[in-house]
Structure 1
Amino acid sequence: MRILVAEDHRMILDSLALLLSSIDGIEVVSKHTNGRQVLTALEIEPDIAVVVSDLQMPVMGGIELTIKLRERFPHVKICLLTVEDKPDTIKEAIRAGADGYVLKSAERAELETALHMIVKGNKFYSEQVMMQLAHETGIELIPDAGKPQKITISKRELDVLTLIAQEFSGTQIAEKLFISPTTVETHRKHLMQKLGVQTTIGLVKYAIKFQII
């Protein structure tokens, strides 16, 4: 897995690159201090699988970089690695198209898991990130037509929804939340009814669009 790393603090950048290079199957191709440098590097570096980027950087930060990657290099995955755990920032990153959102307080094993999941086309958000999102309920939704309406989603439903967004199966969600697969399916159906969608994919897209996750 060939990756680029972006972090504006040199000491952290060097340490992160060293840590990532020690993971089997990962090659750190180059290190950068802002998003613009990453875009320039991608023009000349072939077969880059993932960009690991800080959120707050001068010149071009992680969210703007995410948007640019989706436009210019849609095949390249991006994992944001940050101390920022505010729900509004997390949701902005998700809407921008971030494949992963990992807090800098995470252990090496979590970052390793995130990268391997992301390169396979999955999403990965740290458990702490999901907990922050789970604190927000009663989201205001504005449909395409008509007046705004308020849809109340329980904490448990939001737990299920965030795990669905990470592409966990019903059985895996049940194991993580210590509930039965039948209960997971019940929550899934209730969420679809509340959001007015017909499929799980539609459910997740609608949830992201209206900032539920």
Structure 2
Amino acid sequence: MKIVLVDDHNIILDSLGMLLKSLSIVSEIKTFNEPQKALQYIQVEELDLLITDYNMPEMNGCSLAVNVRKMKPNLPILMLTISDDFQTIKDAFNAGIKGFVMKKANRSELQSAIEAVGAGKRYYSEGVMKELLNPDNGMADVLMMEEEMPSLTAREIEIIELIGKEMSSIEIAEKLFLSPATVEKHRHNIIKKLGVKNVIGIVKYAYQHNLITP
């Protein structure tokens, strides 16, 4: 697997990078201490997995995940962090992050998480799973249903963002250099994929899954 690792602490970045390189499933590892530089790399390179920290000053891991999914919706993302509070876990879940593992995890668990998330499955460490299944948190039903994010294309996510800005099909067409008919076709496909009835449904879904922000 070709993996990108993002963490703003260089000593952690170096040690994790060395650990990842030692795993038989990893063929190449590229490390970044700045999320913005990682985004630039991800945009032009083909890779199999993104592993990111959560707490970073420039852009946190969830924001990074949202930006990555706009460019490459199907790229698996694993969050590796010291933070196990429920809000962080929920934000990661809603940002489309497939796995959540603590930095105290051992080598075996890290490899299991990489294998699972790289294969398109979800992976949550034991402590994280307990938080998700806690009835008081309201996430148990969502998790048990295993509701997967519909397979949206980068263009569809781009159009969803513009719909969220209250732009009409004609305005979107002009901005993206498309015909209004093409935009309408994308809009129809988005409604079908998301299982909603209209533009309001698109916007509501997009806010819930951090595709657009208030």
* TM class, shorter-length: 0.5 to 0.7
Q: State whether residues 101 and 129 of structure 1, in contact with CA within 8 Å, keep that contact through their aligned partners in structure 2.
A: yes
Instruction: Tell me: CA distance 1:84–1:126, structure 2 relative to 1, closer, same or farther (3 Å).
Output: same
Shift of 1:97: 0.6
Q: CA RMSD in A?
A: 2.6
SS of 1:57's equivalent in the other structure is coil
Q: Which runs of 4+ in 1 moved over 6 A?
A: none
5+ residue gaps, structure 1: 140-152, 168-201
Partner amino acid, structure 2, of 1:72: M
5+ residue gaps, structure 2: 149-194, 196-204, 210-214
Q: Distance in 2 between matches of 1:26 and 1:33?
A: 20
Aligned residues: 152
SS of 1:84's equivalent in the other structure is coil
Q: Which TM-score applies when normalising by structure 1?
A: 0.64
SS of 1:31's equivalent in the other structure is strand
Whether 2:2 is the aligned partner of 1:17: answer: no
Residue 165 of structure 1: aligned partner = 146
Q: Distance in 2 between matches of 1:7 and 1:138?
A: 28
Shift of 1:35: 1.7
Instruction: Tell me: CA distance 1:117–1:164, structure 2 relative to 1, closer, same or farther (3 Å).
Output: farther
Q: Distance in 2 between matches of 1:64 and 1:51?
A: 13
Q: Distance in 2 between matches of 1:83 and 1:94?
A: 16
Q: Distance in 1 between matches of 2:107 and 2:29?
A: 19
Q: Distance in 1 between matches of 2:127 and 2:137?
A: 20
Instruction: Tell me: CA distance 1:15–1:136, structure 2 relative to 1, closer, same or farther (3 Å).
Output: same
Q: State whether residues 53 and 61 of structure 2, in contact with CA within 8 Å, keep that contact through their aligned partners in structure 1.
A: yes
Q: State whether residues 76 and 98 of structure 2, in contact with CA within 8 Å, keep that contact through their aligned partners in structure 1.
A: yes
- Give the % identical residues: 33
Q: State whether residues 54 and 61 of structure 1, in contact with CA within 8 Å, keep that contact through their aligned partners in structure 2.
A: yes
Q: Which TM-score applies when normalising by structure 2?
A: 0.64
Q: Distance in 2 between matches of 1:34 and 1:81?
A: 16
